[in-house]
A and B are shown apart, each in its own frame.
Chain A
Amino acid sequence: MKCKKESPAQKAYLRRQLYRRRLVLFCRIFLFVFFLICWEMSARLGLIDAFIFSSPSRTVRCFLRMMQDKSILVHTGVTLYETLISFTLVVLCGLIGAVLLWSSRNLSEILEPYLVMLNSLPKSALAPILIVWLGSNIRTIIVASISVAVFGSILTLHNGFSSMDPDQIKLIRSLGGNRIHILTKVLLPGSIPLILANMKVNIGLCLVGVIIGEFLAAKQGLGYLIIYGSQVFQMDMVVMSIILLCIMSAALYQVVGILGKFLQQQYHQH
């Protein structure tokens, strides 16, 4: 607070803002609770078939049951592990690929149509081939996940790199710098906001890729649980896995966001 003595108008403004924030928070929680109650009640009153649609209480019971033998921790851990590995690889491959494309105009022009094609290809179409080639294991899942995110990542970063201000390049050259200097002094530090935005997109895409992979080639993981649960008609297990996925994706996004804020504070002070 810069101003110690607040004027009445300022106080009124602050009160209005506080009220608005609380209203938003209340409505968010209310919506959630209302949804849960409706779901639970309609299951209990027999409006929907709890065997097919499950219910909050059944989901929680299923979760507690699987907590006892720790199996749910293993499944969640496996999915998380696969997601983090493929996310790291996507970020690295994306950056290296984009820098390579930027460093050679010929290379980028040669590869552009192929990258565009690979980017728009539905990656789930590749999954069966990957199983045949790599086997029904974690390798397939990680490759599937990387394939979902990496091409878009390269294209986005390369686009950002090539739209940099030509005068910044001219400055580095006038100070006697070469391409390495342009890369390390301007391109990478200047692209940190872009790289972070790209990472936020990638973490979600990697999770999508991991689930696609687990649907087809896994003995563990939340994707496997969803498929297994639907095959043995245990909808509680399916719904619980989906809820865990929701929580995981939100948490991962937040972690990347916090990491990004930290990085941005290191390099950019606005």
Chain B
Amino acid sequence: MPPILEVSGLSYSYHTISGETKALSDISFQVETGEFIAIVGPSGCGKSTLLSLISGLLPPEEGSILINGVPLSKSQCRIGYMLQSDQLFEWRTIIQNAALGLEIQKKMDHAAGDRLHRLLKTYGLEQFEHSHPSELSGGMRQRAALIRTLALEPELLLLDEPFSALDYQTRLTVCDDISTIIRESRKTAILITHDLSEAVSAADRILVLTKRPGTICRILPVTFPPSTNRPLERRNDPAFSLYFNEIWKTLQGEGAEKKYEM
């Protein structure tokens, strides 16, 4: 069986009249079904561009993206994309916001409605169904945004720094919540973050990208004993700091090299 996602030789540049900026260069990796991948790297290394390419919002310039062995443009695979800020619309209630994707894809029926209610109940937003986004806390808003994404039952979930807008405490709990939700529903997920500890606490494998143009400088598998596999538990495991230091050194080494080049 082919991997759910296979990226090979992917490159992308942004073009303006005054010149081009190479954002990604020769990116290749694979993701197996059910895996949780984290992508870390310095800001401006093309992380978000990579997600936009995988989700099909941008066409690749070079290289290919295969989903279940089929080119992305022909693939029927449902891909969910969770943006950095929650983007809940103030003119819609929480349940209307969560139903936005279903509405656009004309999939809003009884079964979908029931599923939506179940999701809202599971993630503790039941009594806020008819509230407007401004009445919710940052963590609740982020959960509502996740429900909006999950309502379409994506097979592959793309998360673009979904916790970066939250304060530190909420961030730890929401990260714990959301990665547990994703693990328990056996979704394949790609998380983009600049927070190394977040990557170590959530992922099965970590892709380290270099500065612009982004290339993969390391793929680091992360394994914790199953008894301590929740993000908050991982943070207490002695192996946590080993992984953290490993990525830190990789990124630092990368930075130093670049400095000498200049």
Asked if B104 and A170 sit within 8 Å, CB to CB, the answer is: no
Interface of B is mostly: loop
**B85 interfacial by beta-carbon distance below 8 Å:** yes
**Distance in Å: Cβ of A168 to nearest Cβ of chain B:** 6
List B residues at the A interface (Cβ < 8 Å): 52, 55, 57, 80-81, 83-85, 87, 89-92, 100-101, 103-105, 132, 134, 148, 152
Given A170-B57, A174-B57, is A269 in contact with B83 using a C-beta cutoff of 8 Å? no
Asked if B100 and A175 sit within 8 Å, CB to CB, the answer is: yes
* Closest A residue to B85 using CB positions: A167
Question: 14 A-B residue contacts at CB 8 Å?
Answer: A167-B83, A167-B87, A170-B52, A174-B83, A175-B100, A175-B148, A176-B104, A177-B104, A189-B92, A190-B89, A192-B91, A269-B90, A269-B132, A270-B134
**Distance in Å: Cβ of B148 to nearest Cβ of chain A:** 8
Given A189-B91, A192-B91, A268-B90, is A171 in contact with B83 using a C-beta cutoff of 8 Å? yes
Residues on A with C-beta less than 8 A from B103 are 185
Interface of A is mostly: helix
**Distance in Å: Cβ of A182 to nearest Cβ of chain B:** 10
Asked if A170 and B83 sit within 8 Å, CB to CB, the answer is: yes
Residues on B with C-beta less than 8 A from A143 are none
Residues on A with C-beta less than 8 A from B84 are 167
**A218 interfacial by beta-carbon distance below 8 Å:** no
**A244 interfacial by beta-carbon distance below 8 Å:** no
Q: For the complex, what is the distance from the CA of A181 to the CA of B80, rounded to whole Å?
A: 17
**A50 interfacial by beta-carbon distance below 8 Å:** no
**A216 interfacial by beta-carbon distance below 8 Å:** no
* Closest A residue to B100 using CB positions: A175
Residues on A with C-beta less than 8 A from B152 are 175-176
**A196 interfacial by beta-carbon distance below 8 Å:** no
Asked if A171 and B87 sit within 8 Å, CB to CB, the answer is: yes
User: Can you list the 7 inter-chain pairs with the closest CB atoms, starting with the nearest?
Assistant: A174-B81, A175-B101, A177-B104, A171-B87, A267-B91, A189-B91, A181-B104
Residues on A with C-beta less than 8 A from B55 are 174
Out of A173, A175, A177, A270, name the residue touching B90 (CB < 8 Å).
A270
**Most B CB atoms within 10 A — which of A168, A170, A172, A270?**
A170
Asked if A176 and B89 sit within 8 Å, CB to CB, the answer is: no
**A242 interfacial by beta-carbon distance below 8 Å:** no
Residues on A with C-beta less than 8 A from B148 are 175
**Distance in Å: Cβ of A130 to nearest Cβ of chain B:** 40
Asked if A176 and B101 sit within 8 Å, CB to CB, the answer is: yes
Q: For the complex, what is the distance from the CA of A165 to the CA of B151, rounded to whole Å?
A: 23
* Closest B residue to A182 using CB positions: B104
**Distance in Å: Cβ of A169 to nearest Cβ of chain B:** 10
**Distance in Å: Cβ of A174 to nearest Cβ of chain B:** 4
**Distance in Å: Cβ of A246 to nearest Cβ of chain B:** 36
Out of B52, B85, B89, B104, name the residue touching A175 (CB < 8 Å).
B104
Asked if B105 and A173 sit within 8 Å, CB to CB, the answer is: no
Q: For the complex, what is the distance from the CA of A171 to the CA of B90, rounded to whole Å?
A: 15
